[in-house]
């Protein structure tokens, strides 16, 4: 079976990549599958693209194989795009999904429905030894709900209501999420590259 290494330690992302790539007959491994643990990579960039490149290139250099990374986050219009690239640690260290979305709900307290628009963003970077890093970007438009609902997914899924839906992302099945998510919108743009994978 073909394999691809994903430079992530996020369990939720790793699960989504595994499900998505298995449809293409590709096994997606993540940093969580390595026997030797790898130190956390410092995301020092100021854009999703910069952070995605840092993660993919660092692991590609280390393992000397092509590596895919995902830098993603939630942009809320009322908060001028925050938490954005700071989504993972919005409520501080150590990173905590529940504290992050509770902080967002608090900041949006009393903000009316039509001003709660937001989008998930996902930038994928593919670093191949000796080649220029390539990028793909996907979005999922929606709004922030009034309270958390649902148990599926991860991160901000319990408070994110995709456009055209009543349910939150965490109330959708993994299959339903994979049809509309920012991540899958970015992954489908990789089809040509996936076909060339050894």
Ligand X SMILES: O=P(O)(O)OP(=O)(O)OP(=O)(O)OC[C@H]1O[C@@H](n2cnc3c(O)ncnc32)[C@H](O)[C@@H]1O
- Beta strands, E only, 35-101: 67-76
* Of residues 25 and 98, the one with the C-beta less far from ligand X: 98
Check: CB of residue 125 under 8 Å from CB of residue 56: yes
Q: Could you say which of 73, 138, 142, 145 contacts ligand X (CB under 6 A)?
A: 73
Q: Could you say which of 19, 26, 79, 88 contacts ligand X (CB under 6 A)?
A: 88
* Of residues 88 and 197, the one with the C-beta less far from Mg ion: 88
Residue 10 corresponds to which tokens in the numbers above? 């996020």
Alpha carbon distances (Å) from 91 to 87, 94, 187: 9, 9, 29
195 annotated as a binding-site residue: no
- Residue with token string 């660092």: 58
119 binds ligand X per the rule CB under 6 A: no
154 binds, among ligand X, Mg ion, none (CB under 5 to 8 A by kind): ligand X
66 binds ligand X per the rule CB under 6 A: no
Query: In sequence order, which residues have a C-beta less than 8 Å from that of residue 113 and are 6 or more positions away?
Result: 143
Distance (Å, whole) CA 148 – CA 134:
36
Minimum CB separation of residue 43 from Mg ion in Å reads 5
Check: CB of residue 13 under 8 Å from CB of residue 32: no
**Residue 2 in 3-state DSSP?**
strand
Residue 100 corresponds to which tokens in the numbers above? 């992050």
* Of residues 166 and 192, the one with the C-beta less far from ligand X: 166
Among 71, 77, 97, 175, which one carries the catalytic annotation?
71
Distance (Å, whole) CA 47 – CA 74:
13
Which 131-160 positions form the footprint of ligand X (CB under 6 A)? Answer: 153-157
Active site residue 70: no
Which 5-64 positions form the footprint of ligand X (CB under 6 A)? Answer: 8-10, 13, 43
Query: In sequence order, which residues have a C-beta less than 8 Å from that of residue 146 and are 6 or more positions away?
Result: 105
182 annotated as a binding-site residue: yes
Residue 38 corresponds to which tokens in the numbers above? 């790898």
Binding residues for Mg(2+): 42, 71
Q: Which residues bind ligand X (CB under 6 A)?
A: 8-10, 13, 43, 70-74, 87-88, 97, 100, 120, 153-157, 181, 183
Active site residues: 71
Q: Which residues bind Mg ion (CB under 5 A)?
A: 88
Binding residues for substrate: 8-13, 72, 154-157, 177, 182-183
């Amino acid at each position: 079976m073909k394999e691809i290494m994903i430079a992530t330690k996020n369990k939720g992302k790793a699960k989504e990549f595994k499900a998505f790539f298995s449809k293409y007959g590709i096994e997606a491994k993540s940093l969580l599958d390595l026997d030797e643990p790898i130190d956390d990579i410092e995301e020092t960039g100021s854009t999703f693209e910069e952070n995605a490149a840092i993660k993919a290139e660092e692991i590609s250099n280390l393992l000397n194989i092509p590596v895919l990374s995902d830098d993603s986050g939630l942009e809320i219009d009322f908060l001028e795009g925050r938490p954005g690239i700071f989504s993972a640690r919005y409520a501080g260290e150590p990173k905590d999904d529940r504290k992050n979305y509770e902080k967002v709900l608090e900041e949006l307290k009393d903000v009316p429905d039509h001003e709660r628009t937001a989008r998930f963003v996902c930038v994928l970077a593919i670093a191949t030894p000796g080649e220029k890093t390539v990028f793909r970007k996907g979005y999922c438009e929606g709004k922030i709900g009034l309270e958390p609902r649902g148990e599926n997914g991860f991160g901000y899924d319990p408070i994110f209501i995709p456009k055209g839906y009543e349910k939150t992302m965490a109330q959708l099945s993994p299959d339903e999420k994979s049809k509309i998510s920012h991540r899958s919108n970015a992954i489908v743009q990789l089809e040509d590259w996936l076909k060339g994978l050894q």
